[in-house]
Structure 1
């Protein structure tokens, strides 16, 4: 059963189009990197609906920025 957490906001779930906009990679690259484990894994919500956790995508971006130094 789903339990609500009142002391923090619910995680935001992003469709592939938003992930593409945030990270600047193409859809096929995101899917491939997710499969290989070098990008956050998506959550399958239904047969035709898949989403990424925004905090995980943002963390991936932060790590990519940190690696450039």
Structure 2
């Protein structure tokens, strides 16, 4: 279960956590990569650290995703 401290708000926070550039976060959403990044009306883009960590360790992490 995700907690408030687990949440990353905005592309910059998500990108920093993943070691990517903010554009990568938008590209992941636009290209529909299976990255657990969410967007809700009025909330903007957000993700949970625990879900990102699980994704990075799973088979769904995309080896062909650009690193920048």
Q: What band does the TM-score fall into relative to the shorter chain?
A: 0.5 to 0.7
Residue 22 (1) aligns with residue 56 (2): no
How far off its partner does 1:45 sit? 5.2
Q: Give the alignment's TM-score, normalised by structure 1.
A: 0.55
Structure 1 equivalent of residue 39 of structure 2: 43
Stretches of 4+ moved more than 6 A in 1?
A: none
Per-residue displacement from partner, 1:5-39 (whole Å, max 9, x unpaired)? xxx66363212222112211111111111222222
How many residue pairs get aligned? The number is 57
Q: Give the alignment's TM-score, normalised by structure 2.
A: 0.55
Computing the radius of gyration over CA atoms, which structure comes out larger, 1 or 2?
A: 1
RMSD: 2.6
Contact 2:36–2:51 (Cα < 8 Å) also in 1: yes
Structure 2 portions without partners, runs of 5+: 64-68
